[in-house]
Amino acid sequence: MTELQSLKKRLDALEILVRKQNVLIGKTGQGMLAMQLDKQKSDLSHMPGSVADPAAGSAHAATDEDLVQLVAELQGELNNIEERSIRRMANAGKSSAKEAIAPMLNADGDVPLQTDEWFPKTVGDFESIPTNNLFRLAKFYERMPLSGKEQEKYEQYLDGKIESMKVTDSTDEDIAAEMKNYSPDQIDDIFNDVARYLGLPARRGVHEW
């Protein structure tokens, strides 16, 4: 097996694992990774089987470097998946109100900071989390959709019209208006979905897994 074939095999395997976990590559400007992967695969289908082929030239060498970079990026995402699994396992056995919650990485690999007031520090904090902070937490982990106002701001960010956009920066007034669109049962469902994402055993309602 040539080096190029080996790289392609690794790339395919990593891509499958990442897609199974619904991982999104966005923070480093790689939000269009799927399109790039398709392009790389298309280029590979027109390349000779050996990287040492004298006809390959410098253009093929550059393509190989791109493949190595993509493999490295995908490996980084797999590392994030593993880190999430470790933190979920740490949270799974916590039921005492005073036990600290292991902060979870979101899809972009970001972790809540100690100064982020919306992130519950203990199991007790999570169980009694105010709905406005629950919404911030759920949006940080993509457990609920953005509001219309947040979606508009996000599109402005993608278009380069604003420098930054954090879903957790929504005001209490905006969240209070959004809360009117959700029933108590729906809010409980959001709480349970976030709890499952974090690996916490806490649940609201009855007969919830």
The full set of domain ranges for the chain reads 3-90, 96-198
In what helix (H) or strand (E) does residue 177 lie, and over which residues does it extend? helix 172-179
pTM above 0.75, yes or no: no
Identify the residue whose tokens are 């629950």: 134
**194 within 8 A of 147, measured Cβ to Cβ:** no
How much is the pLDDT for 138? 97
What residue type is 102 in one-letter code? A
How much is the pLDDT for 206? 79
How far apart CA 44 and CA 2 sit, in angstroms, is: 13
Nearest Cα residue to 153 out of 174, 137, 172: 174
What residue type is 162 in one-letter code? I
How much is the pLDDT for 163? 85
How much is the pLDDT for 65? 76
Residues in the chain, pLDDT under 50: 22-29, 31-32, 55-62
